[in-house]
Structure 1
Amino acid sequence: MLDVFHALPFTPLNWGLMLVAIAIAYIVFGIAGFGTALVAGPILVRLMPLSQVIPLLVLLDFIAAFGNLLPSRQAVVGRELLRLLPCMAVGCTLGVVFLLKLQSDRLLLLMGLFLVAYAIYMLAVKVKPARLSALWSIPLGTVGGLFGALFGSGGFLYAIYLSARLEDKQQVRATQSALISCSTLVRLTLFIVAGVYADLRLLALAVCLLPAMAGGLWLGRRLTLRMSREAFVRLVTWLVLASGVTLLYRYFSG
């Protein structure tokens, strides 16, 4: 097994970049429950193929989501979870169909424009609606599942819904973690069935990155405890804006 670790083709500079990227990504994940692909993805794809980056982040996200969920599982809001899960499942199914049958680049453009417009509105308008209707779970849950299947990232849509429905930021984080756990479990299972993790070097890399992930996750949770709900929602909004800009960049550069 030690030979597998020695076979990892990275220089000390590469290792430093990866560890910093993963630590920062999971600080964000510890705070908001999403965003690892947004933060770490652009750096990791310069060091390894995208076909390895996605399974690596799915594996780390799966561990991190349960790490977030276990200490705060009592804060999960079951009614919101039950509203979103069926919609997420429908969205994942549609995502697989679109991935096989349709061009997904137009969806990337439309979602990027929507997220940028939504975030700018939320940052610019001082008086905001106190709560979203529960009916918003249908479009946001479905499109979140769709984008999770198509692009590996739909968590920002769950965050939009939950942060506008729940007053307690711990409930938002815990429920978000439960959703991400379910989503990553499905994708992890598919990767296992496809034999992706038969490459022991990918598993060895995940093991090497676990300390950075755990440290970032711990720091993110600590920072969340010191935030007001308003600061938490504002941070999530900035992350949504960054997600939208990233999607537009992927569309126009792709």
Structure 2
Amino acid sequence: MERNRPCKAPKPERRHMNFLTTITPADAALVAAVFILGGMVKGALGFGLPLTTMAILPFFVPVDAALAVNVVVLFLTNIAQFLQMGQMRETATRFAPVLWGIAIGVPLGTAMVSAFSDEFLLLALGAVVVTFSVLSLSSVNLDLRPAQERPVGWIAGILGGIVGALTTVGGPLFVMYLVGLRVERREFLSALSLFFILSAVLVSGAFLLVGLFTPERLFLAAIALPAAIGGMWLGNRIAAYVPAHRFRVLVLVVLGCLGLNLLWRGISGG
């Protein structure tokens, strides 16, 4: 399904789900399966749900519909993680520049969602996924000095907000920033959850204004949420038995392949 662009005829050859008609059990099962997988990645690694789901959903869901469903799940799944870390005030104070940057970047990125074609969004999404996978597999990380924390935080927030609004996958930029600061795991998860929560709130408000939310998409989000939570539980269990490094490498390799496919689809016109 295309977004509301009167001047652009729909492409009948696309085999996306029609979100304006009744959602079939098969449609719901596919979406649930994707979010179970995304939840498993997040449960095992502490992040990666939107990175995983947005790498797969565009294969059978319109990009704008995938964005709408994903942002709802992103918001709700990170609230519990943020509260669980118990460092709300400290996190908000230390990473205020990132939060202000997100507040600037999200509106900019949201305006681009309606301005750019689905093909461009596929290219942008594929580029983010491939870049993150390659950098992670090659162990390339930023090494930020204390004096660089705040200025780089503004940059990470603005860029992460723009990419997050375009693809709901602003996480790689936030992850690289936090890894560069070498924060400990508890603070890492607290900060990452807060970044995702603020991004999701702002993106949700913007998507509501531009009409990306429909009853059908909210219904799919209601299906995706428990699937993601169940996947997170499974991911926690897997992390206890499978070496974290092996699981991480496997996830990154698969995501890299999916990202390359998204790039090809964007180049070839879907």
Asked if these proteins are the same fold (TM beyond 0.5), I'd say: yes
Shift in alpha-carbon separation, 1:99–1:177, aligned structure 2, 3 A: same
The normalised TM-score by structure 1 is 0.72
How has the CA–CA distance of structure 1 residues 88 and 79 changed in structure 2, closer, same or farther, with 3 Å as cutoff? same
2:35 matched to 1:22? yes
Q: Distance in 2 between matches of 1:114 and 1:210?
A: 22
- The gaps in structure 2 that reach 5 residues or longer are 1-20
Aligned residue runs from structure 1 range 234-249, under 5 A: 238=252, 242=256, 245=260, 248-249=263-264
Shift of 1:187: 1.3
Amino acid in the other structure paired with 1:145: G
Q: Are 1:33 and 1:176, in contact at CA under 8 Å, matched by a contact in 2?
A: no
Q: CA deviation at 1:8?
A: 4.0
Provide the TM-score with structure 2 as the length reference.
Answer: 0.68
Over residues 17-54 of structure 1, what are the superposed CA-to-partner deviations in whole Å (9 max), with x where a residue is unaligned?
A: 32221101122233455533442235434444333221
- 1:86 partnered with 2:100: yes
Deviations 1:57-116 (A, max 9, x none): 11111111112212123276334421211122232244346557789959x569938963
Matched, 1:112 2:148: no
Residues 60 and 206, structure 1, Cα contact 8 Å, conserved in 2:
yes
Once the two structures are superposed, the pairs formed by residues 49-198 of structure 1 within 5 Å of their partners are 49-74=62-87, 77-96=91-110, 105=120, 112=127, 116=131, 120=134, 123-124=137-138, 131-133=143-145, 134=149, 135-197=151-213
- Closer, same or farther: CA 27–97 of 1 in aligned 2, 3 Å: same
* % identical equivalent positions: 25
Tell me how far apart the structure 1 counterparts of residues 76 and 230 of structure 2 sit (CA, whole Å).
Answer: 13
CA RMSD across the alignment = 4.2
Q: Cα distance 1:8–1:101, how it changes in 2: closer, same or farther (>3 A)?
A: closer
In the alignment, is the contact (CA less than 8 A) between 1:159 and 1:236 conserved in 2?
no
Shift in CA distance, 178/251, structure 1 to aligned 2, threshold 3 Å: same
Cα distance in 2 between the residues matched to 1:46 and 1:130: 32
Residue aligning to 1:200:
215
Amino acid at match of 1:202: R
Question: 1:4 aligns to what?
Answer: none
State the distance in 2 between where 1:36 and 1:162 align: 17
Displacement after TM superposition at 1:171 (Å) = 1.7
Aligned AA for 2:195? L
Contact 1:32 1:236 in 2 (8 A): no
Conserved in 2, the CA contact under 8 Å of 1:32 and 1:159? no
1:42 and 1:114 map into 2 onto residues whose CA distance is 7
* Aligned residue-pair number: 242
Question: Kindly tell me: are residues 110 and 57 of structure 1, through their superposed partners in 2, closer, same or farther at Cα, counting changes over 3 Å?
Answer: closer
Distance 1:174 1:231, change over 3 A: farther
Which is richer in helix?
Answer: 1
The superposition leaves residues 194-221 of structure 1 with CA deviations (integer Å, 9 ceiling, x where unpaired) of 4544x43333322233321111123345
Measured in 2, the distance between the counterparts of 1:93 and 1:201 equals: 24
Query: Using the alignment, how far apart are the partners of 2:199 and 2:93 within structure 1?
Result: 18
CA distances 1:123-162 after superposition (whole Å, capped 9, x unpaired): 446xx77842314323322211121123332111001111
The answer (yes or no) to whether the contact 1:91–1:143 under 8 Å persists in 2 is yes
Asked if the contact 1:31–1:173 (Cα under 8 Å) also holds between the matched residues in 2, the reply is: no
Evaluate the alpha carbon distance shift between residue 226 and residue 137 of structure 1 in structure 2; reply closer, same or farther with a 3 A threshold. Answer: farther
Partner in structure 1 of residue 267 of structure 2: 252
